[in-house]
A and B are shown apart, each in its own frame.
Chain A
């Protein structure tokens, strides 16, 4: 301030200074000062600074705490909430501040109380830990949280409560539960799958998993199976093949194959496998699904075998049918020729050779028909013990002295319905077969028994129907058969005997007769251990039929009755006429039904017998017989046939009260049968 200054200006300056001072005081009083910079202080003295820093720091932490996604929970030593951040409040559905003062037990699921109490006790002892805990949301839903709890203590080290970081893991937990449920479903699919399934490491060092069906198939316990190596399950040849396939599987992903692994008990099981390659935990593994083909393959083989037999049978039957007519002619005229030759005629020996060959051809044809199940069976109720007894002397002669024969007969043996002649044939063939298996002698046993097949045992004897059966077994101590022979033994013309020693038809005939009789044939044989054939026939509850007195052996008697012969084969017709005329009969002939009716109308006198072929074009023998019976009810009927496949003969079994003559015709058989039918008390045609 100087004198030179204008008074007004000076006044103005003073006013300004005063205003500044006032303003300064106001600012000081109003706390608008941050620092004092006194000349003596090297650093300015900051006002409010520490306080401000603290406030700002608290605000910062408060911000962090409130924006934290995790819940923060502080409790006192009585487990009462002293602090809960927004995240925690939201997690449990509480309003801001609502949790304060409330016990943790208000929020923990009741199931978890004991565990929570134990946890608090550990906190009291200074233990920090993390654990999953189930809490209850205000809306009642479960909230799964991961708690990271640590104890709090004061400066003196006394427990003052706990602090926990709380993470909501409900979603994770739900996902885990869903995963667990899904895994459980897949496990069930795997474990309860009816198909055997297993998982193997692609280097096949071990099996990783196996289901129940697979364990059942192979007969192992789970632990045993998982400890197996592939070489214990496969033959070495198959093992090599499997190893070769690994490369292929790697490329294609899916692989199909048929395998023959071994069960625990050493049995081979045939399986069709489908394996799928994929990666689990960076290891290439194969999921293998197997189907047990053993039974199916066995059935397929059986089916193929029976189809083969059927085809051969049809072929053989067809040939035999044509042979019958040819043989009838050959055998008959040979017999006529022999009749015409005087004893001692040089030609006689030659013709006798022809007759013998003819007889053998007739027998072969019969066997073929038997095998093809096309021969005519005339079943009656019989006792197999009696049948065996009746041919026992013959069997002993057949066996010779080096073989001991023993009969083991069931005294109360059931009855069966069968053609006695055919059953004799069966026994003879089996015994002959046994003899040939024991060239150096041995023992032969014929056994009979009653066998009851229930559902429980039917599986053991495949093909044997449920019910009561009568069994006849022929066993030997001979050479036995290997598996290949066993498979083919019933095939016609299959023979183990040397060339020319057997026809190969014996066992085929046996099988054909047994099956046509509604029975079943079982074979048990092992190389070096002998063979046993078991014939099963259905048991019947009827009395044994009286055995008709055999006419063979006695001289054939002729007659003077009138016989009408109907036969479409001209040669057979002539043959039949010749035989009958030689036996003194009056013979009328017709080559078909129409002719037969005409002859019947024109013939005024009696016709005592109609002898007719069964299988003829247009009208069969039965129809002819029925038509003629209307005008000639007293006329008797005898059918001739070499074949069973027609409408008259159903299922190869002729009606029991029809008279029947099986071709090929031989003079003696025809004459005998004609006489027998004529002598019967009444006509035997049933309409």
Chain B
């Protein structure tokens, strides 16, 4: 999925903290991408941070466990932990309705 920098106001800005190729991390990324792919009209920007490579970034965002996804915007910041296997919860958090 391509990241888009236009429509800054409505854009979903996401940050996913993973631990290497850990199975839950991989599953979280997979699940997130699947949901985003289901809403191609929603612009989104996803930053993936491997805490094994960049542990300081985890401290910066006060991330204690991986995988953790932070929705930076729009509107307020939201966090979700785990493999993102609960698709409904993920969709609700991202403010995406069924299409």
Contact = CB atoms under 8 A, between A and B. Distances in A.
Most buried by A among B18, B78, B79, B82: B82
B72 interface: no
Contact of B78 (A16, A36, A39, A46): A16
Interface stretch (A26-34, A237-245, A333-341, A466-474): A26-34
A332 B71 CA distance: 161
A231 interface: no
B55 A42 contact: yes
Contacts of B85: 32
A52 B23 contact: yes
Interface residues of B, number: 30
A23 B89 CA distance: 9
B80 A20 contact: yes
A26 B28 CA distance: 15
A37 B51 contact: yes
A23 B78 contact: no
Contacts of B55: 37, 41-44
A49 interface: yes
Interface stretch (B7-15, B38-46, B62-70): B62-70
Contact of B80 (A23, A36, A44, A46): A23
A363 interface: no
Interface residues of A, number: 26
B51 A35 contact: yes
A46 B19 contact: yes
Nearest to B76: A13
Nearest to B52: A44
A41 B56 CA distance: 10
A34 B65 CA distance: 7
Contacts of B1: none
A13 B81 CA distance: 18
Contacts of B79: 20, 24
Nearest to B18: A34
Contact of A33 (B52, B66, B76, B80): B66
Given A37-B58, A44-B55, A28 B81 contact: yes
Contacts of B51: 35, 37, 44
A375 B65 CA distance: 139
A102 interface: no
B58 to A, nearest CB: 4
Nearest to A29: B82
A48 interface: yes
Given A13-B76, A33-B65, A35-B22, 11 more contacts: A16-B78, A23-B81, A24-B65, A32-B85, A33-B66, A33-B67, A35-B52, A36-B64, A37-B65, A43-B52, A44-B19
A-B residue pairs, 4 tightest by C-beta:
A27-B82, A34-B22, A32-B82, A35-B19
Interface of B: 17-20, 22-25, 27-28, 51-52, 55, 58-59, 63-67, 76, 78-83, 85-86, 89
12 contacts: A16-B78, A20-B81, A23-B81, A30-B82, A31-B24, A32-B85, A33-B66, A35-B66, A37-B59, A43-B55, A44-B51, A46-B19
